[in-house]
Chains A and B, each alone.
Chain A
Amino acid sequence: MLFYTLRRLAYLIPTLLGITIVTFVLISLAPGNPVDLIQSGVMSSGISIEGYNEMLRLYGLDKPILIRYGVWLERLLTLDFGNSFLDHRPVIVKIWERLPATLILNLASLALASLLAIPLGLYSAVRQYSLFDKLGGTILYMLYSLPEFWVAVVLIMVFGVKLQALPFIGMESVDARELGFFPYLWDRILHMILPTICLTYGSLAYLSRFVRGSTLEVIRQDYIRTARAKGLDDARVVYRHVFKNTLIPVLTLLGILLPTLISGSVILEYIFSWPGIGQLFFEAVLSRDYPTVMGLSFMTAVMVLLGTLVADLLCAWADPRITYE
């Protein structure tokens, strides 16, 4: 198992190299460079050709793409993502200060979705084709097909503007920090309610249908029939035999969902003025802030690969039939 893990970790390196090369080349080949954009898109472009070339040198953009990639890679070895072209601050600092906002929202959403989806899915499967299953399924599919931005706007109109019951701007009130710990905590929780709902309802539908499907598969297995034949009551069969086995594919799915924890939702963060990773990434791509784009892409790639690895390891842990020896 240890050997397997190490081998998998070793495989990460060439994969990561491949991913970063492709990302680097793609973003660099996208037309428009940051110097053009800083000048023209936003302000004026009236500097001399010398000034222009000076700027290119300042950002290291006068060198060929492969050299630039080499420089980037060399820095990466010391965990240095470079400085943002937009504000000259280290990329790692920019990511770090936005990570908590995205993380807390995604964690809340994932927790909420799992807590609701697993019992929902389980119950729907056990009572397959019951009214609950059919109605629940229909409602969940309807939710799944509602676009996030639309739901967000409706929720804001109703709870934010008409009822003025919930805040919808940012993650805290301006003066909340002066109020003391509990009022501050309460303020933060209130600010999270609407975005969390928007972020959750889609994955709730997805996850609960997934749990239902995997449960149905387990229910049909011989060992469940055996368990029932032994005369075990329904509750015991479901909780001890069905539930545990259902979790195996769910664990895999959660592993795959891991990277989404740090990749913010661009649209929702925009609508709720949530200062997270999604907004940072969006701005970085639009303004061709190569170091920030690369930093974020690298981080996401690492999380995806690690997530897959963790999912595999969890599977082996949960299912004694799977070994990686």
Chain B
Amino acid sequence: MRVSNRILVAASAVLVGFVSLSSCGNREKKEPAKTSLTGQAVRPTRGGTVYRHLEADCRTLNWVLYTTAYENYVLRYLYDRLLDYDQNLEIIPVLAKNYEISKDHLRITVTLRDSLRWHDGVPITAEDVKFTVEKILDPTVAAVNKEGWFSRLDRVEVLDDLTIEFRWKEPYAPSLHALTQLAPIPKHIYGEGDFNENPANRSPVGSGPFKFEEWRTGQMISLVRNDDYYGEKAHLDRIIFKVIPDGSAALNALKTGELDEMRITQIQWETQTNDPDFLGRFDKTLYYVPQYNYLAWNCRSVWFKDKRVRRAMTMLFDRETIDKELYSGYAEIVTGPFYIKSWAYDPSIEPIPFDPEGAKKLLDEAGWIDGNNDGVREKDGAKFEFDFFIISGSETGRRYSELLQEQCRKAGVIVNIRQLEGATFFDKMFKGEYDATALAWRLENDPDVYDTFHSSQVPPIGLNHAFYSNPQVDSLLEAGRLEFDRAKRQAIYHQVHRLIHEDQPYTFVNSVPEKRPLNKRIGNVVLSPDGPFDFHPGAAYWYIKHDATQAVK
């Protein structure tokens, strides 16, 4: 069984856009608010509603079944996890009071906090945790994005009402990370009837600082404060999520006060959100989430089986110009498959520079020579002419491929850009039926990249769609899964980084920041490296500032 820990995202202007910890000047202003979280400085006021944006309606609010980022926005308020990442992306216990890893790394014993209760008042017990894991692993339950984390689990044992033991089949370093991906759901609600069609999927009973109130399909979802929460109570009365699929409509809604926050595009960031009125009312935050853009080279194709050719391709791809033209200099060039600010990423590796002349030399060396002077290189009777697949409508994909096409043409390589509709595109990706493409990976907080670079994981089984194979990387990736010591694990992944950079199965392009204006009436905004939401406690302790005069509809 393979582990799913990454999200493949089409390189489109809408879907792509994120990287590491960094933020614009507004961050300093938030420092005082941050201290209020610890009870000093400003005392947050109780009450009020924050209006958040959903780019698409949720499909389900069942924590086991959810698959989209939007659903996670909502579920973050409704459910607490056993363990979670804090704002510095370190693992902390949440529903768990504490946890213990056995010496052989095969058992993790988790003790729940005392007197935890579901939103309907029923106590949360170890049975609920066991039930949730069983549902995740149940073949009739479509828990696609969680199943992988628990597939190495031998079994879950309930030791007493509040103690659970997770027994693993083999030592598995990401196992603690797996527990950060586990929010128990109530057995007494979901235990009966068809799990997939349970009515509670649309009216969840959770464990978090907010309770579900109402869901109007295609319109809005509202949550109210949980006054019986075990931890510090939230300040806001309500969180209302509004479904606004169109980005321009959403920006207009933000400007008229109908939304307090939204993710905006590069163009909106640069041209539609810089008037004094907007800057007076909103903090424009910018942060890098674990994601990177890349060009993939099919290492089984006649052209890209030679790493010198792949390196030449990287030298022909002008990442600096891409950054200037598409991202106004906000993007950061990446050199390897890890989140750039994580401990696994080796910042000492220098990116391969843009160097068309060097690329030509490498192509000559690799035996691709224009013998008949028709402007196109050949080798063994094969022309250097390949298809570059992009998703139709992806502006990023289009610009990337055109830039590559232009430089390649000058170097005697023909690139045919083919636009494919999304479903067709992914179908080809996962069967490995392509020459080259532009894509993006969304990463998890654990650096295990076995799925994407181990030679056993090639299509149609796995996600190694570049058909990359390097025995040395293979054994390092295997070792990385068995090593629990942070420093030793770091050394392993730094080596992986260096080797993959050497082989260039991908041209690692960049990490693009996510941009999100937040209404200044909101206090207590904390930015973790990957933004204000996806950590504990995330946006749960936002409040409306006293002096806020913004009228909200």
Contact = CB atoms under 8 A, between A and B. Distances in A.
Contacts of A36: 423, 426-427, 430
Given A47-B144, A58-B140, A275 B201 contact: no
Contact of A271 (B148, B218, B246): B246
Contacts of B545: none
Interface in A12-34: 30-33
Give the interface size bracket for A toward B: 35 or more
Contact of A45 (B222, B252, B463): B463
Contacts of B220: 170, 174
Nearest to A54: B139
B7 interface: yes
B410 interface: no
Contacts of B255: 161
Contact of A160 (B56, B67, B252): B252
A237 to B, nearest CB: 50
Interface residues of B, number: 63
A207 to B, nearest CB: 28
B422 A46 contact: no
Contacts of B4: 39, 43-47
Contacts of A41: 10, 422-423, 426
B514 interface: no
B519 to A, nearest CB: 16
B242 A44 contact: no
A7 B175 CA distance: 67
A31 B433 CA distance: 13
A48 B249 contact: no
Interface string A163-186: 010011111111000000000000
Interface string B380-422: 0000000000000000000000000000000000000000011
B117 interface: no
B242 A170 contact: yes
Interface string B428-464: 1110000000000000000000010000000011110
B426 A37 contact: yes
Interface string A278-297: 01100100101000000000
Nearest to B198: A88
**Interface core residue of A153, A168, A170 (most chain B CB under 10 Å):** A170
Interface string B54-66: 0011011000010
A103 interface: no
Given A38-B144, A97-B217, A169-B249, A45 B430 contact: yes
Nearest to A39: B144
A37 B375 CA distance: 40
Given A41-B422, A98-B218, A47 B249 contact: no
Interface of A: 30-33, 36-51, 54-55, 58, 83, 86-89, 94, 97-98, 101, 153, 156-157, 160-161, 164, 167-174, 270-273, 275-276, 279-280, 283, 286, 288
29 contacts: A32-B422, A32-B425, A32-B426, A36-B423, A39-B145, A41-B422, A43-B4, A44-B463, A45-B463, A46-B4, A46-B5, A46-B148, A46-B451, A46-B463, A47-B1, A58-B139, A89-B197, A98-B218, A167-B553, A168-B253, A169-B244, A169-B249, A171-B219, A174-B220, A271-B248, A273-B218, A273-B246, A273-B249, A275-B243
Nearest 10 A-B pairs (CB), nearest first? A46-B4, A32-B423, A275-B218, A44-B4, A31-B424, A88-B196, A43-B145, A87-B59, A32-B427, A48-B1
Given A36-B430, A286-B422, 6 more contacts: A36-B423, A44-B5, A45-B144, A98-B217, A98-B218, A174-B242
